[in-house]
Amino acid sequence: MADWWDADGRRHRKQFANSAAAKEHEHRETALAHAERASREMKLAARTSGVKRSSPKTDSATMEPAKGKLGVMIPGMGAVATTFVAGVEAIRKGLAKPIGSLTQMGTVRLGKRTDGRSPKVKEFVPLAGLDDLVFTGWDIFEDNMYDAATNAGVLDYRLLEQLKPFLSSIKPRAAVFDHNYVKKIDGPNVKKGKSKMDLAEQLRQDMRDFKKTSGASRLITMWCGSTESYIEPTEAHQSVKSFEKALRENDEMIAPSMIYAYASLMEGVPFANGAPNLTVDLPVMLELSRKNEAPICGKDFKTGQTLMKTVLAPAFKARLLGLSGWYSTNILGNRDGEVLDDPGSFKTKEESKLGVLEHILQPALYPELYGNIFHKVRINYYPPRGDNKEGWDNIDIFGWLGYPMQIKVDFLCRDSILAAPIVLDLVLFLDLAKRCSELKGLGIQEWLSFYFKSPMTVPGLYPEHDLFIQLMKLKNTLRHLKGEELITHLGLEYYD
């Protein structure tokens, strides 16, 4: 007989062959009891603090299958929208490949590195198929999608000719537009209404009509309209009640994009914002999104220069290289470039582009390295380049003992070619969120930060801008939803 004490200090008596066996038993029991107690305490802490446990708890049963057609509604049928829709049709016809799309070409590693399980994203979670997508949109110009794509000059005319019957059949609905918010353009295809509430009602009717005529079982709204002038939230944006009062009273602080967002969320339809406008970044929209289970996400597609910035800045921080200045300039000649030539629209874009470095580099934590950065962003309208933007970055960094170095990036990109796969992924993932019991009531879908220059988060939480953290967050969300183990990259288990 020998005594042993457990982790809670209780004494036990048991028969052992010898004292070594007794000692070993005590060790094992103590370790077990410690583990059990830690687990109990963590569960209790999670319950009392409202924090959800990170281990998997749901499975695919909580995601409804993607049955029927998915209607994609696009305010703003310009370069990005037409490149996206034409691209989907070209892929459906087998004329091109969905390059750049995580939902179409990406994979998710599951389990250990040695397991060899890496299904395609679209086979892992129940996404709508490309054949099920149907489209509509609104624009201030009357051009159908074929004419708009031709004007945008992004895609080769030989490809557009093959898609002409399909693209010509998509005609823009009359837009809700206010010239004061986009000073550089004006067009004839604009709705008239007694009040902004009346305009919102007309948009809601458009949405219901489209659902009926297209036979779509679900809808998504994707803002691909021009960048609106910079404004800050006011009292009118603080609640559904105050917003609806402001709509009825034609409050000038309600921008057209907000009217689309309101109409969409009232219809229970998820909304994504490709531009940097305030639009859904408002308490009223969060309230509506949660109430009507219509997911929302960030704003301003992360395509060219900011994509590079959120790849390079994390590398400097990882190696603790200092940064003294980052000068970014762009030339572009499409309609977006023309709109951004207006100081009001540019200010909206500038705010969105400037935010990323501060959040990635955390100057408060690393004052000697990032406490004094000169960060400048310029956008210059230069018509000869059309949609083929050129983005230059001059980056002044410093290393060991403060010695300075420079990096130059010259990205000759194609704006809409980079944006189109982002639109596709957002359409499919937002539709998934709407069908997923765990996500649909959350409002903000932070796991979609990967696609945005300005990701949305709950108030008080700083956004993640590092592209690779964003990708890990997205893939871990998918793993979590499917009840798969999250990947932490710890890897000690391989050396047991």
Number of other residues whose CB lies within 10 A of the CB of residue 287: 17
Closer residue to ligand NAD in complex, CB, 88/436? 88
Least distance to ligand NAD, CB of residue 189, Å: 8
Closer residue to ligand NAD in complex, CB, 90/152? 152
Closer residue to ligand NAD in complex, CB, 310/476? 310
Backbone angles phi, psi at 135, to 5 degrees: -130, 150
Closer residue to ligand NAD in complex, CB, 75/322? 75
Least distance to ligand NAD, CB of residue 198, Å: 16
Beta bridge partners of 317: none
CB-side neighbour CA atoms (13 Å) of 192: 1
Positions touching ligand NAD (CB under 6 A) are 75-81, 138-141, 152, 175-177, 182, 185, 187, 224-227, 256, 274-275, 300-301, 303-304, 334-336, 339, 415-416, 418-419
**341 is written with which tokens?**
């030539």
Closer residue to ligand NAD in complex, CB, 89/415? 415
Identify the CA nearest to 157 among candidates 146, 166, 168, 165. 146
Contacts of 321 (CB under 8 A, 6+ apart): 369, 397, 398, 399
Closest residue to ligand NAD, judged by C-beta, is 78
Closer residue to ligand NAD in complex, CB, 230/370? 230
Least distance to ligand NAD, CB of residue 79, Å: 4
Least distance to ligand NAD, CB of residue 361, Å: 22
Least distance to ligand NAD, CB of residue 31, Å: 54
Plot region of 484 (φ>0 → left; ψ -120 to 50 → alpha; else → beta) = beta
Residues 328, 306 contacting (CB under 8 angstroms): no
Starting at the edge strand found earlier in the chain, the sheet holding 69-75 runs: 173-174, 133-139, 69-75, 216-223, 271-273, 296-301, 452-454
Cα distance between residue 397 and residue 485, in whole Å: 39
Place of tokens 């990967």: 450
**330 is written with which tokens?**
């762009």
Least distance to ligand NAD, CB of residue 173, Å: 9
Closer residue to ligand NAD in complex, CB, 332/369? 332
